[in-house]
Amino acid sequence: ETGVTQTPRHLVMGMTNKKSLKCEQHLGHNAMYWYKQSAKKPLELMFVYNFKEQTENNSVPSRFSPECPNSSHLFLHLHTLQPEDSALYLCASSQGGSSGANVLTFGAGSRLTVL
């Protein structure tokens, strides 16, 4: 495995379900990120983890709960989502820091549909 791997690639869930998105990076990077990409909107930064410590929570609703057990793995736990949460969720990693954060390696994304 190389790069940044995200699973599942596609997920359909009801509003009462609980599911998790997983991200794994094999690049030896120190920082990991969750972005949300909706149609006709810019990529929205959700969470930032540096050395597995959360350094950014961009006013994300509590129905999204991140977890970073180590520098290589990042999860996004989902519960009681709304249809407007349907989007492509992208995980990324970088060397971290102020300059390293400019060069992100993205995973292929998890396409989430909330019914």
Partner 1 sequence: GQSLEQPSEVTAVEGAIVQINCTYQTSGFYGLSWYQQHDGGAPTFLSYNALDGLEETGRFSSFLSRSDSYGYLLLQELQMKDSASYFCAVGVTDKLIFGTGTRLQVFP
Q: Which residues bind partner 1 (CB under 8 A)?
A: 31, 33, 35, 41-43, 45, 48, 50, 55-56, 90, 96-99, 101-109
Query: Taking the complex as a whole, how short is the minimal distance between the CB of residue 39 and partner 1, in angstroms?
Result: 11
For partner 1, which is the closer residue by CB, 45 or 60?
A: 45
Dihedral (CA of 25, 80, 111, 103) sign:
negative
The nearest distance, CB 16 to partner 1, in angstroms, is: 29
Q: What does the alpha-carbon distance between residue 17 and residue 47 come to, in Å, rounded to a whole number?
A: 22
